[in-house]
Structure 1
Amino acid sequence: MKFGKILSASVVAGLLAAAPFAAATAADQADNKEKAQPHQERQWQASKSSRHGKSGEQRSVGQLTFIGEQRIPNDEKFKDTLVGGLSGIDYDPKTDRWVMISDDRSDNNPARFYTGELNYDTKDFYSVHITGVTEFKQPDGTAYPNKKQYTETKTGVVSDLESIRFDPKTRSIWYTSEGDRSLAFDPFVRQANKKGDYVSSFPIPEAFKMSESSDGSMKKGFRNNITLEGSSFSPDGKYYFTAMEASLYQDGDISTADSGSYARMTKYDRSGAILAEYAYRVDAIPAKPGEGKNADNGVSEMLAINDHQFLMLERAGVQASDGQYANYIRIYEVDTDQATNVKDFDSLKSSEFTPVSKKLVLDLNTLHLPKLDNVEGISWGPKLKNGHDSLVLISDNNFNSSQVTQFLAFDVSPAAK
């Protein structure tokens, strides 16, 4: 859930079911054609240095050491677009290219992603530069409409984009959208080429789709604005994973200051088949809100370490009596190895199961930053000169003047053997 946002729409029910990774050939052909043509944007040159790392490599997470912070001003413009709402980030080591997705529901500018240049080392985080912007296209080749446009035309879907990932095998881009119950749009997972053109989609689990009893007393499926927040490929690209931000209606209440809850993780193979779902225990909200004020906690992103371990980003927003929000951000290491596959469970409320294991890696509030904002994205970065992995987090400013777009860089020491 994003505080300070006006809720808008996302996704059309009855998505095209996936011809997905098989369609990667189309993405490759489009990208090859793109490479043969002159680009308008600055090109990324892959370094010959080993510091960029390799896609598919196995990683190990021990201690995270904070390197530094950079911010983008809230009035930042790039090619007549307002840079903000950055809810996801990813890095391609083969091209040394960063991408950041905006969750602008086409209200300021059409649904889009940015490319950028991040300059940091073990000593400091020096700069962030936006270098390109690309509009996502719907299957018919048109831009995603905003809510007003959709209301007038009843065509297309209103997107609420959250997570973005490079496919390690094809270099195409995968992204998620949250859906909108008020517009009867289910969440979606889609694939695009590097020009933003639609390539394919994955089905979402039936349990995620909205439904309710005829009298409206019993709801099932996703809760509005707290759905497909996270996604990640296994390092070898064999599997694709997604994470819900919070509980489905049938799985129980969402987290409160007194109790936690369960969100579902989903595992796909490259054909788009849903192999498994796992229950992730979301913490209780870490602080109580002011009287009559809001608070929530949920998963804001996931990042694969290997094919069964992940870094999970939990983000809580707690509103004080004066209306101001405080953010509580934690990074957990999660393992699905011993977890129950709950794919065929109609509900988690009355079922017995083993959730994924989790252990705290870092509580970002212990860093005592001048401001810790609405962190929603996490990505591996290039290898550091000391041989360690790097990690970058990004915050979504919600196009809100009281918030900031911040980038946080970390040195990742491997776990002790």
Structure 2
Amino acid sequence: MHRFFRTALVLAPAAIVLSACASFTQDAPITGLRLIGEQRIALKQAFQGTTVGGLSGIDYDAASNSWVMESDDRSEINPARFYRATLAYDSEKFSGVTLDSVHFFTQPDGSRYPNLAHAKLDQGDQVADIETLRVDPRDGSLWYGSEGNRKVGLHPFVRHADRDGKFLATLPTPAMFKVSKDEVGSRNNMSFEGLSFAADGKSLWLGMEAALYQDGPLATPDHGSVVRITRLDRSGKVLGQYAYPIEAVASRPAPGREADNGVSEILAVNDHQLLVVERAGVENAAGVYANHVRIYLMETDGATDIQAIPALAGASYVPARKRLLLDLEKLGLARVDNIEGMAWGPRLANGSRSLVLVSDDNFNAQQVTQILAFEVLAHPR
């Protein structure tokens, strides 16, 4: 989550689905992304007794031809939840968004996640700050990541739920990501931000938003940073971990204001490449953020497996390579908002992959919830 609806339109056939899960097909090398169109959901849209907003994760459920979008509301407006929706787009246009249902995530005891004011932390309650989710290619269940809360000692976590959000299991994650009272481990509100199933569906990639304390300073307008992106099997065993280099913040904030850059989502392309969203927020004198959003192709081949390196600051390693695919500021959009979700969609009629992004408006009138649909361009083999 960055610090700081139109509903029920006429639906057109969106695409032809050629595989059980849009994420796990082998394609020609990606060369770029072509914008198909944009739709928005109105600020604080009411839907089935909830307030829509804070959409920070999205994925496509091919079995039901529906989209799953989670809110990072920390149960302050409504309990932690996700929406199922229909997105109507083809290769020529993006014509509508329809919200279909809302579902609530549950804790192991079956209760909904509480907000911090009502959480019984001494009895094991978690306050979910859900920033990413994925549909399981095996059975359509859901996996989601929460950033935790360093201020009150809540660790980030990844959990597995059924299609309706009911708790199934917690995925063990490396101890280095836990929060601490000392300057070690995850920073507050800067931990589990990206999640993706690997191309074979047997393992998951987990992306940090920002550097661990021991890995070095955060990105600034003067220098970049580094984050860990980890591959785990379904039992939590670490299969590999790589250092991803983050760019310096693209512009400067007003005096006394904030600016940052971090990873807001990841998405596996094949066994050794991922798409990575770098999202920077830069605050002006009025306290309003401008967003710089870029999508990179990350390459793990040739990079050092850093899982046994406890601190990257001062360590010797080879980071992952990356290549810029798209700078969203060059699309000609009226604005680029706080993009936090990214997912493969169904294939288009011409056989190309589609890709969808969603922004987290933080329930803030100065922001918007935008959904962007793209055609994935590739070299012919």
Q: What TM-score, normalized by structure 2, do the two folds share?
A: 0.94
Q: Distance in 1 between matches of 2:130 and 2:106?
A: 12
**1:119-144 deviations in whole A, cap 9, x for unaligned?**
01111110001101110000000000
Show the counterpart of 1:111.
80
Show the counterpart of 1:257.
221
**1:148-174 deviations in whole A, cap 9, x for unaligned?**
101698651111000010111122100
Paired residues of 2:295 and 2:325 also in contact (CA < 8 A): yes
Task: Map 1:172-321; keep pairs closer than 5 Å.
Answer: 172-212=141-181, 218-321=182-285
Percent sequence identity over aligned pairs: 47
Give 1:2's aligned amino acid. H
Task: Map 1:45-84; keep pairs closer than 5 Å.
Answer: 50-51=16-17, 53-55=19-21, 56-59=24-27, 60-84=29-53
Paired residues of 1:62 and 1:416 also in contact (CA < 8 A): no
| CA deviation after TM superposition for structure 1 residue 53, in Å | 3.5
Larger helix fraction of residues? 1
The reply to whether residue 373 of structure 1 matches residue 341 of structure 2 is no
SS of 1:63 mapped into structure 2: strand
Q: Distance in 1 between matches of 2:127 and 2:52?
A: 19
**1:5-30 deviations in whole A, cap 9, x for unaligned?**
xxxxxxxxxxxxxxxxxxxxxxxxxx
Q: Distance in 2 between matches of 1:88 and 1:249?
A: 25
Q: Distance in 2 between matches of 1:401 and 1:236?
A: 41
Paired residues of 1:168 and 1:236 also in contact (CA < 8 A): no
**1:276-322 deviations in whole A, cap 9, x for unaligned?**
21100011001011111110000000001012111000000001223
Q: Distance in 2 between matches of 1:153 and 1:357?
A: 43
Show the counterpart of 2:320.
356
Q: Distance in 2 between matches of 1:313 and 1:400?
A: 22
| CA deviation after TM superposition for structure 1 residue 80, in Å | 0.4
The reply to whether residue 161 of structure 1 matches residue 145 of structure 2 is no
Q: Distance in 1 between matches of 2:184 and 2:284?
A: 31
- Runs of 5+ in structure 1 lacking a partner? 5-41, 213-217
Paired residues of 2:16 and 2:346 also in contact (CA < 8 A): no
Show the counterpart of 1:411.
375
Paired residues of 2:172 and 2:235 also in contact (CA < 8 A): no
394-403 vs 60-69, greater mean Cα deviation: 60-69
Paired residues of 2:274 and 2:298 also in contact (CA < 8 A): yes
Give 2:3's aligned amino acid. F
SS of 2:114 mapped into structure 1: coil
SS of 2:378 mapped into structure 1: coil
Paired residues of 2:56 and 2:359 also in contact (CA < 8 A): yes
2:347 to 361, 383, 392: 383
Show the counterpart of 2:359.
395
Q: Distance in 2 between matches of 1:147 and 1:321?
A: 31
Q: What TM-score, normalized by structure 1, do the two folds share?
A: 0.86
Paired residues of 1:169 and 1:236 also in contact (CA < 8 A): no
- Please provide the CA RMSD for this pair: 1.8
Give the 4+ runs in structure 1 shifted more than 6 A: none
Task: Map 1:16-35; keep pairs closer than 5 Å.
Answer: none
SS of 1:182 mapped into structure 2: helix
Q: Distance in 2 between matches of 1:410 and 1:149?
A: 41
Paired residues of 2:150 and 2:180 also in contact (CA < 8 A): no
268-277 vs 325-334, greater mean Cα deviation: 268-277
Show the counterpart of 2:301.
337
Q: Distance in 2 between matches of 1:294 and 1:116?
A: 34
The reply to whether residue 91 of structure 1 matches residue 60 of structure 2 is yes
**1:327-385 deviations in whole A, cap 9, x for unaligned?**
00000000111111110111001211011110000000001211111000000111111
Give 2:20's aligned amino acid. K
SS of 2:63 mapped into structure 1: coil
1:136 to 85, 88, 105: 105
Paired residues of 1:52 and 1:96 also in contact (CA < 8 A): no
Q: Distance in 1 between matches of 2:16 and 2:41?
A: 29
Distance of aligned partners of 1:377 and 1:112 in 2 relative to their CA distance in 1, 3 Å threshold: same
Q: Distance in 2 between matches of 1:267 and 1:305?
A: 14
Give 1:334's aligned amino acid. M
2:70 to 101, 126, 143: 101
Show the counterpart of 1:2.
2
Distance of aligned partners of 1:153 and 1:243 in 2 relative to their CA distance in 1, 3 Å threshold: closer
Q: Report the count of equivalent residues.
A: 371
- Runs of 5+ in structure 2 lacking a partner? none
Give 1:400's aligned amino acid. N
